[in-house]
Amino acid sequence: MAIYIDPPLWPAHGTHFSHLVSDTSLAELHTFAAAAGIPERAFDGDHYDVPERRFDELVAAGAMPVEARMLVRKLISSGLRIPARQRNKSLKMPLQLRWDAIMPGHDALFLDLLDRWSEPHRHYHGCTHLLSVLESLDLLTEPADPPRTVLLAAWFHDAVYQGIPLQDEEESARLAEDRLRDAGLPDADVAEVARLVRLTGDHRPEAGDSAGALLCDADLSVLGGDPDEYARYLAAVRKDYAHVGDADFAAGRAGVVRRLLELDTLFHTGRAKELWLDAAQRNLKGELE
């Protein structure tokens, strides 16, 4: 049971803010905040926003300083994390921090990808999905960091999205090849990122493909959400295919669900099976019925 605080990296109101979270309960978090004199208005669903001038004081009061990514992992593991898709705030800052950790100095490429993920026709396949995949990769590899090529594949895997299965993945892979080669990435890394992106077309990594297993499991982690989360996922997918009639969508979606249930294994890593497999099977079977 502990309170954690990340560095003051988040700019707002002429200063920078830290996040204060609990790894156990909101009651513990509220108790700590009240004792420290943090106003209730600073609470944002699963954390408190605190200005940088209070950082040292809160550490002295018992908050444990951790890196921003580690704080998010602690929050996700606690079960208190509010999914990104339920938030109204811009995701640009948390996504940029993650991008800078793997591709520093490539701001133009980040902004291009952000624009792609923010296209107005996207509902499920938008920035919230991207952040969810990146957070799922954190969970699957904790306490280590995910491989850089896997993270880059996550950034590119739906960078082109028109709702055309396999074609979207192929065009996204080609985009990754072009942009990452221009960014100076080694040819072997470029090829690996493109391979992983194409793999998300059917989510069937070969035995021993640990990188492919990580990406596919993270991409499908939404299937293992609780009933409310799964319902929101389905509603967002339906909006992505708003141009398709109800009957055609129902038939096509049923085919997708059957293919997922017919996979030799829905998840490939032991950690993903532990986290999401039972719930995913219940969700998929329930949807099909």
**Segment 64-78 mean pLDDT:** 88
pLDDT at residue 13, as a whole number: 65
Burial 228-239 (b: 16+ CB within 10 A, else e): ebbebbeebbbe
Q: Per DSSP, what are the bridge partners of residue 51?
A: 17
Residue 88: its pLDDT value, please?
40
Which residue ranges make up each domain of the chain? 3-82, 92-288
- Please indicate whether residue 222 or residue 228 has the higher confidence score (pLDDT): 222
Q: Is 195 exposed, middle or buried (0-12, 13-18, 19+ CB in 10 A)?
A: middle
Specify the higher pLDDT residue, 88 or 85: 85
- Identify the pLDDT of residue 186: 97
The larger pLDDT score, comparing residue 180 to residue 97, is at 180
Mean pLDDT score, 187-216: 96
pTM confidence score: 0.72
Residues above pLDDT 90, as percent of the chain? 60
| Cα–Cα distance, 269 to 265 (Å, whole number) | 10
Q: What are phi and psi of 72, to 5 degrees?
A: -60, -40
Is residue 102 a contact partner of residue 168, using CB atoms and an 8 Å limit? no
Mean pLDDT of the chain: 90
Is a pLDDT exceeding 90 seen at residue 41? no
Other residues' Cβ atoms within 10 Å of the Cβ of residue 33 = 21
106-139 pLDDT, tens digit per residue, is 999 999 999 999 888 888 899 889 999 998 999 9
- Class (C level, CATH) for 92-288: mainly alpha
* pLDDT the model gives residue 205: 95
Of the chain, the percentage scoring pLDDT greater than 70 comes to 96
**Span 82-103, average pLDDT:** 74
For residue range 260-274, what is the model confidence (pLDDT) as tens digits? 998 888 999 999 999
User: How confident is the model at residue 243, as a pLDDT?
Assistant: 82
For residue 12, what pLDDT is reported?
66
pLDDT for position 156: 98
How would residue 86 be classed by pLDDT, with cut points 50, 70 and 90? Answer: low
